[in-house]
Structure 1
Amino acid sequence: MFQLYKKRDFSALVGDTFNLFKLEGKNYFKNYFIINGGLLLLLVVILYFFMKIFLDGAFTAARTNNDEAFLNTILSDLPLFIGFGFGMILLIILASLINYIYPVAYLKLIEENQDRNTQNLIQYIKSKIGKTILFYILSIFVAIPILFIIMALTFLLVFVIIGIPLLFILIPAYTSWISLSYYHYISTDAGYFEALIKGYELLRSKFWPVIGSNFVMQTIVQITLGILIMVPYFIGIASILVNPEGMEQNPEKAFSFVTIMLTVIMIISILFNYTLQNIILINQGIIYYSIREEQENISVISSIDSIGTNEE
């Protein structure tokens, strides 16, 4: 079984993230799609119809060279457009909540040596959904303003060169701080501000390995996502280049093809972005348990307790 409480350096933080998926990946993603797959599928369907209305209006305006055509197309389907828009926002919020809780739930079940089955995961997610909503509502008023201040100062420093490398340090540091705070907030009885303080302490205690690990994972995810998005894009471009005369002779078909291509790219982007975010969130969880082990020697204490239990 995967060992959560373990002292790790930078390479171990990265390597053990992939080791966990090597051991638990099949079960992890099976349960992930059972729990969150329905919401993601519904989100994709609503996104398709929302994008269709929007792109039909945009292409009609481009084809007729009439800016009012876009507005007229949207207005003609306004109830559907608004309904799909609200539905999309609601589903994004729900899918995102589950996306953030699920890795915490999975690692918590490993910590407690419980079966990582759908029933246990759903039970834990339901018990923590309220705390997760509260965490992100409070973060809107506390953590996000801090991010804006950091970004503003960093962009000002860009003009004197020093801000450019700071961007590659502060962004991973900020996201790790929030993730570690969230893990502590959900996994313990700590309050919101207590969790933020604890998250900062955890980050500071192993600063460079944490942000280095986060940066590596973010880079891997973004490169993978970029490749997955570019494949249908290049297929679409190649199709246009192979038959440019047909596209010119039949503009309706060309616009329809471009609409489908853009929608497919958007759908792939959303599906894989949600899925690949699990890698980053699991990495942050491994960081959380690793630093706690360094500070509290939990595995040693647990081993001593188990020896005492066995002797009895």
Structure 2
Amino acid sequence: MLHLFKKRTFSEYIGDTFAFFKENGKHFFKHYFIINGGLLLLLLVLSYFIFKVYFEVLFSSIGTNAPNFLEDYFNNNIALIIGVFLFFLIVILFVSLVNYAFPIIYLQLYEKHKGCNFETLDLIKAMKAKIGKIILFFLALVGLSLTAGLLLMAIVFALFFVIIGIPIAIIGIPALMAWVQLSFYEYLNEDMGILEAYGRGFDKLKQQFWPIVGSTIIMYIIIQTIATVFIAIPYIIGVIDMVTNIENQQTDADALSFFSIMMVVVVCISILVSYILNNIMIINGGIIYYSLRDQNENITTLSDIDQIGTPSE
């Protein structure tokens, strides 16, 4: 069993993340898809039909004599478009909420049961017990994103016009991601308010800033590389088919029709892969969180002391 409470270095943050999935990946993703599979399927179905209509309208405007074809289409269907968009946004937020909380709850039970000796019902009960805190954290996160987050983005964007802006973005964005993850772990694992959780998360980030940021950057690069491979395949197929149809003097409509389908497939695969692979990033955050807790609270040492004199089996 991989122990969560353990003092780690930079390389161990990455290595133990993959060791966790190697040891418990089958159990983790089994229950992940049992709980989240239906939600992901709903999101993919909605995404398919929404983007299918979008690309059909987009490509159908090519070659038309109407200069404001897209504008006219949206103006004539404004109520339907707004209604579908709001419903789609609500589904995305709910799916994101459940998906983001699942790995944190999973690690809680993993530590509590000293391994993956728990079932789907245990996960559902634990998530229901924390649902209020999960929603509050996301509301606070949205509020911070719309205030301080936008201000920071504006500053970073302005700094992009000078050389110093690029390294600040490369370091700052992963640091913000790690801070939010550590704060969410604090909030769901301890009895505290949101502001206190963010404060403790920030303290933990400062404690090992460069190893944490470096680990987050490496994990992000790995995830994006894997996602790009999955996304590139249908995109390349669509481009090759469109070029082939044009060379064979087939109608532009046929070529664009298949290409639009491939673009929809690309979007759906992108959404699915991003949600699934995001588990790796959050588990990595958990490995960091439990390591820092052990470093601060000496949990492993105290546990070893408590076991002194206990008869071995």
Q: Does TM, normalized by the shorter one, top 0.5?
A: yes
Shift of 1:78: 5.7
Shift of 1:221: 0.7
- Describe the shift of the 1:308–1:178 C-alpha distance in structure 2 as closer, same or farther (beyond 3 A): farther
Q: Residue 44 of structure 2 corresponds to which residue in structure 1?
A: 44
Q: Residue 4 of structure 2 corresponds to which residue in structure 1?
A: 4
Mapped partners of 1:226, 1:178: distance in 2: 25
Code of the aligned partner of 2:119: N
Q: Residue 139 of structure 2 corresponds to which residue in structure 1?
A: 137
Mapped partners of 2:28, 2:202: distance in 1: 29
Shift of 1:299: 1.7
Q: Residue 168 of structure 2 corresponds to which residue in structure 1?
A: 166
Larger CA deviation: 160-169 vs 76-85: 76-85
Q: Residue 89 of structure 2 corresponds to which residue in structure 1?
A: 89
Shift of 1:226: 1.4
Shift of 1:125: 1.3
Code of the aligned partner of 1:251: D
CA contact (8 A) 1:57 1:71 kept: no
Q: Residue 285 of structure 2 corresponds to which residue in structure 1?
A: 284
Query: SS of the residue aligned with 1:227?
Result: helix
Query: SS of the residue aligned with 1:101?
Result: helix
Q: Give the root-mean-square deviation of aligned CA atoms.
A: 2.1
Q: Residue 180 of structure 2 corresponds to which residue in structure 1?
A: 178
Shift of 1:79: 6.0
Which of 186, 194, 206 pairs up with 2:196?
194
Please show how residues 85-124 of structure 1 align to structure 2 within 5 Å.
85-113=85-113, 115-124=117-126
Please show how residues 254-273 of structure 1 align to structure 2 within 5 Å.
254-273=255-274
Mapped partners of 2:123, 2:58: distance in 1: 43
CA contact (8 A) 1:172 1:214 kept: yes
Q: Residue 207 of structure 1 corresponds to which residue in structure 2?
A: 209
Shift of 1:60: 2.2
Query: SS of the residue aligned with 2:152?
Result: helix
Any idea what the Cα deviations from partners look like across 1:131-185, whole Å, max 9, x if unmatched? Answer: 1110121223335533333333333333331221111111111111111001100
Larger CA deviation: 137-146 vs 234-243: 137-146
Mapped partners of 1:296, 1:107: distance in 2: 18
Mapped partners of 1:73, 1:21: distance in 2: 47
Shift of 1:82: 4.1
- Describe the shift of the 1:77–1:163 C-alpha distance in structure 2 as closer, same or farther (beyond 3 A): closer
Q: Residue 306 of structure 2 corresponds to which residue in structure 1?
A: 305
Task: Compute the TM-score of the two structures, normalised by the length of structure 1.
Answer: 0.92
Shift of 1:308: 7.1
Shift of 1:302: 2.6
Q: Residue 129 of structure 2 corresponds to which residue in structure 1?
A: 127
Larger CA deviation: 195-204 vs 250-259: 250-259
Code of the aligned partner of 2:57: G
1:225 to 2:227 alignment:
yes
Q: Residue 23 of structure 1 corresponds to which residue in structure 2?
A: 23
Query: SS of the residue aligned with 1:42?
Result: helix
Shift of 1:207: 0.7
CA contact (8 A) 1:53 1:81 kept: no
Structure 1: unaligned runs, 5 residues or longer: none
Larger CA deviation: 157-166 vs 167-176: 157-166
| Seq. identity, % | 43
Mapped partners of 1:207, 1:183: distance in 2: 17
Code of the aligned partner of 1:19: A
CA contact (8 A) 2:102 2:127 kept: yes
CA contact (8 A) 2:182 2:285 kept: yes
Q: Number of aligned pairs?
A: 310
CA contact (8 A) 1:185 1:192 kept: yes
- Describe the shift of the 1:78–1:26 C-alpha distance in structure 2 as closer, same or farther (beyond 3 A): same
Shift of 1:34: 0.9
CA contact (8 A) 2:246 2:252 kept: no
CA contact (8 A) 1:102 1:125 kept: yes
Mapped partners of 2:201, 2:296: distance in 1: 13
Mapped partners of 2:80, 2:310: distance in 1: 63
Mapped partners of 1:153, 1:77: distance in 2: 37
CA contact (8 A) 1:229 1:268 kept: yes
Any idea what the Cα deviations from partners look like across 1:232-290, whole Å, max 9, x if unmatched? Answer: 111111222333245x5323322321220110000000000000000000000100000
Code of the aligned partner of 1:167: A
CA contact (8 A) 2:245 2:251 kept: no
Q: Residue 251 of structure 1 corresponds to which residue in structure 2?
A: 252
CA contact (8 A) 2:235 2:262 kept: yes
CA contact (8 A) 1:232 1:261 kept: yes
Query: SS of the residue aligned with 1:142?
Result: helix
Mapped partners of 2:77, 2:59: distance in 1: 15
Code of the aligned partner of 2:112: E
CA contact (8 A) 1:2 1:110 kept: no
Code of the aligned partner of 1:88: F
